[in-house]
């Protein structure tokens, strides 16, 4: 593939692995993110949580290193490890000194290609996964988010990456090895690297480490939303109420994405944004309120969250939905200016982090089929006008609200 810009590079190897890289002059660090199509959405039926377990299992020894040696070697190289499993992928990533990048990539080639997956290591990994799942009970915001997506999606996109107790207990070394061979494949895998890299040398190193890797594509289902407004209540006698709601947004890759981002920043882009001002500052209904954009392949949604009290729960939901609805009347010039400034500030901050850029270009490659430079994103936001935002909001008024609540009393969507 041709070079995307003076600093962005893309190459797809014959085995299906796509390498995307961004050279950031002046940085001494480098970061990488290897994304594999192994998420909760394509966990085997009855073995929910397999992708999460595999992500931990492969670290229990790989290549010629046992678990302790593997960990010590990464620590000796100063790797700040990152990654994990989400709905559509499992990521292996980290940041290190640029001079050590190729040595670190060689270790991760062992991790994702040649893990030991010893039977005697499985119980410790499973025990950790079960503990994480149990800990969700003590994380009300996490629980209400899980309930929201289970209600929002019709199908496996509504699963949580942690899986289920039954699914985790059904895992054994044999079925995990088979699952590893199925989903840990170069086909549709993406490796993103950001830092002061030399592109020809990096491409040659990646070809040496991963070029002879083989495997078939791992199918991911398409996100399917359940239509209609609905409320999912987890009834508990609590002193705090967790409320989460979602509604469809402009899908990735559509021209109006940037306009919708500016509009969302008017709704929740800091202490001057509408949600914080109307729900917390003026009415004092909540101790926390926010709204964010979530994206999957071919679908996006806005998710709002609020933490409040039982007495304020219904009013809180009414005001949040009311503020979302009021956006259709348009935004003020001050709101528009603050939103664009806030978005561009976030872009500048992201450009100062090699890890953030590695993650972003991988995400772009997955969702859009190509990485975007910070300059491209900034210029696209600059082109958005207030008239564009008002027109977009008038034409895209959400109506199908999916709501999840943890609390003692039911609420309803009245607006």
Q: How far apart are CA 12 and CA 127, in angstroms?
A: 38
Of 15-19, 214-218, 259-263, 348-352, the one with minimum mean pLDDT is 348-352
**Local confidence band at 25 (pLDDT 50, 70, 90 cut-offs):** confident
Instruction: Report pLDDT digits (tens) over 40-89.
Output: 999 999 999 999 999 999 999 999 999 999 999 999 999 999 999 999 99
The pLDDT value given to residue 3: 38
Instruction: Report pLDDT digits (tens) over 369-411.
Output: 999 999 999 999 999 999 999 999 999 999 889 999 999 999 9
The pLDDT value given to residue 352: 77
Q: How far apart are CA 237 and CA 129, in angstroms?
A: 28
Q: In this prediction, what percent of the chain has a pLDDT beyond 90?
A: 91
Residue 26: pLDDT over 90: no
Q: How far apart are CA 409 and CA 401, in angstroms?
A: 19
Q: How far apart are CA 392 and CA 263, in angstroms?
A: 8
Check if the beta carbon of residue 276 is closer than 8 Å to that of residue 284. Answer: no
The pLDDT value given to residue 27: 87
Q: How far apart are CA 278 and CA 272, in angstroms?
A: 10
Residue 2: pLDDT over 60: no
Between residues 395 and 4, the one the model is more confident about: 395
pLDDT, mean of residues 14-34: 95
CATH, domain 8-210, list 2.102.10.10, 3.40.50.300, 3.30.830.10, 3.40.50.12780: 3.30.830.10
Residue 6: pLDDT over 60: no
pLDDT, mean of residues 295-313: 97
The pLDDT value given to residue 1: 35
pLDDT, mean of residues 169-196: 97
Between residues 86 and 348, the one the model is more confident about: 86
The pLDDT value given to residue 13: 98
The pLDDT value given to residue 269: 86
SS3 call for 242 = strand
How many CB atoms within 10 Å of residue 117?
19
Token digits of residue 115: 């893990």
Domain boundaries, the chain: 8-210, 230-407
Model's pTM, two decimal places?
A: 0.94
Instruction: Give the residue among 326, 298, 100, 309 at the shortest CA–CA distance from 196.
Output: 100
Q: Using H for helix, E for strand and C for coil, what is the string for 380-395?
A: HHHHCCHHHHHHHHHH
Instruction: Report pLDDT digits (tens) over 76-112.
Output: 999 999 999 999 999 999 999 999 999 999 999 999 9
Q: How far apart are CA 57 and CA 184, in angstroms?
A: 13
pLDDT, mean of residues 129-156: 97
pLDDT, mean of residues 22-40: 94
Instruction: Quickly tell me which residue has 């085995």 as its tokens.
Output: 15
Q: Please give the C-alpha separations between residue 283 and each of 111, 230, 276, 315, 319, in angstroms, as whole numbers.
A: 52, 26, 10, 10, 9
SS3 call for 67 = helix
Dihedrals φ, ψ of 163, to 5°? 80, -155
- Asked if the domains at 8-210 and 230-407 fall in one CATH topology, the answer is yes
Mean pLDDT, rounded, of the chain: 95
Tell me which CATH homologous superfamily contains domain 230-407.
Answer: Metalloenzyme, LuxS/M16 peptidase-like (3.30.830.10)
Q: Please give the C-alpha separations between residue 387 and each of 259, 332, 359, 392, 395, in angstroms, as whole numbers.
A: 10, 10, 32, 8, 12
The pLDDT value given to residue 415: 67
């Amino acid at each position: 593939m041709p070079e995307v810009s003076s600093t962005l590079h893309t190459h797809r190897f014959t085995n299906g692995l796509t390498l995307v890289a961004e050279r950031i002059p002046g940085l001494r660090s480098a970061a990488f993110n290897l994304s594999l199509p192994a998420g909760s959405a394509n966990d085997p039926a009855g073995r929910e949580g397999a992708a999460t377990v595999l992500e931990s299992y492969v670290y229990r020894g790989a290549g010629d290193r046992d678990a302790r040696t593997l960990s010590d070697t990464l620590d000796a190289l100063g790797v700040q490890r990152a990654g994990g499993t989400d709905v559509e992928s499992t990521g292996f990533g980290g940041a290190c000194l640029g001079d050590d990048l190729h040595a670190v990539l060689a270790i991760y080639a062992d991790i994702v290609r040649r893990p030991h997956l010893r039977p005697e290591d499985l119980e410790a990994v499973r025990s950790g996964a079960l503990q994480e799942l149990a800990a969700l009970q003590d994380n009300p915001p996490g629980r209400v988010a899980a309930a929201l997506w289970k209600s929002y999606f019709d199908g496996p996109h509504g699963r949580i990456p942690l899986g289920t107790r039954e699914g985790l207990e059904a895992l054994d070394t044999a079925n995990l090895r088979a699952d590893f061979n199925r989903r840990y494949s170069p086909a549709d895998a993406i490796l993103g690297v950001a830092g002061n890299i030399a592109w020809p040398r990096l491409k040659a190193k990646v070809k040496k480490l991963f070029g002879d890797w083989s495997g078939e594509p791992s199918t991911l289902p398409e996100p399917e939303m359940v239509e209609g407004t609905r409320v999912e209540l987890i009834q508990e006698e609590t002193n705090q109420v967790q409320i989460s709601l979602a509604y469809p947004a402009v899908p990735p890759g559509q021209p109006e994405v940037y306009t919708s981002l500016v509009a969302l920043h008017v709704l929740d882009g800091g202490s001057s944004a509408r949600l914080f001002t109307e729900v917390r500052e003026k009415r004092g209904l909540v101790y926390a309120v926010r709204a964010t954009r979530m994206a999957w392949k071919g679908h996006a949604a806005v998710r709002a969250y609020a933490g409040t009290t039982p007495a304020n729960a219904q009013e809180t939901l009414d005001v949040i939905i009311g503020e979302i609805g009021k956006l259709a009347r348009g935004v003020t010039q001050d709101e528009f200016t603050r939103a664009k400034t806030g978005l561009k500030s976030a872009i500048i901050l992201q450009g100062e982090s090699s890890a953030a850029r590695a993650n972003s270009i991988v995400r772009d490659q997955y969702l859009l089929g190509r990485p975007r430079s910070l300059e491209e994103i900034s210029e696209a936001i600059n082109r958005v006008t207030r008239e564009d935002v008002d027109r977009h909001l008038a034409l895209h008024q959400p109506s199908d609200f999916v709501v999840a609540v943890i609390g003692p009393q039911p609420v309803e969507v009245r607006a």
